[in-house]
Structure 1
Amino acid sequence: MAALALQLKDYRLTTAEILYHMPDHPGVLQAYIWQELDLAPRFPQLKHFLDFWSRCLDGKLHSVRVASEALIKPAEFKLVGAEFRLH
């Protein structure tokens, strides 16, 4: 129920692909996928997570790619050209 309440407050499903250098092999990149409900375009949850990463984890960040999509949207209607009824 808490997720629905957040979505009604305009939180969106946010996915981030985080590329980072492996601590033991800095020339090798590893990918990590992060996904949460967050507020676009400022993304406070993602920024909080990346700050934690920079402070506490050994893998140096290389790049972050972000995608965001609203899960609750106005209904989309499409008119149909014909209607068939079966009895």
Structure 2
Amino acid sequence: MASLSLQLRDYRLTVAEILYHMPDHPGLLQSFVWQEMDIAPRYPVLRKFLTFWERELDGKLHSVKVASNPLITPAAYRFVGADLRLQ
């Protein structure tokens, strides 16, 4: 139920692929996939997570790719070109 209330407030499913340098081997990159409900285009939840990452974790960030998609969208509709009557 919490997810639905977030979606109604314009939160959308957000996925981020985070590439970071491994602490023991800085020349190697490791991938981490993060998924959460967030608001595009500001992404406050993702920014909070990345701030935590930089402050608390040893792996230095290399890059972040973000994709998001609204889960609740207006219904698709089309007009029917015929009127059928049954008697």
Taking structure 2 as the reference length, the TM-score comes to 0.89
Partner of 2:85: none
Structure 2 matches for 1:40-79, cutoff 5 A?
40-78=40-78
Partner of 1:14: 14
Post-superposition Cα deviations, 1:27-74, rounded to whole Å, max 9, x if no partner, equal 000000000000000000000000000000000000000001000000
Task: Determine helix, strand or coil for the equivalent of 1:71.
Answer: coil
Distance 1:60 1:42 in 2: 22
Distance 1:69 1:4 in 2: 14
Structure 2, unpaired ranges of 5+: 83-87
Q: Percent identity?
A: 70
Taking structure 1 as the reference length, the TM-score comes to 0.89
Alignment-mate amino acid for residue 45 of structure 2: Q
Between Structure 1 and Structure 2, how many residues are aligned? 82
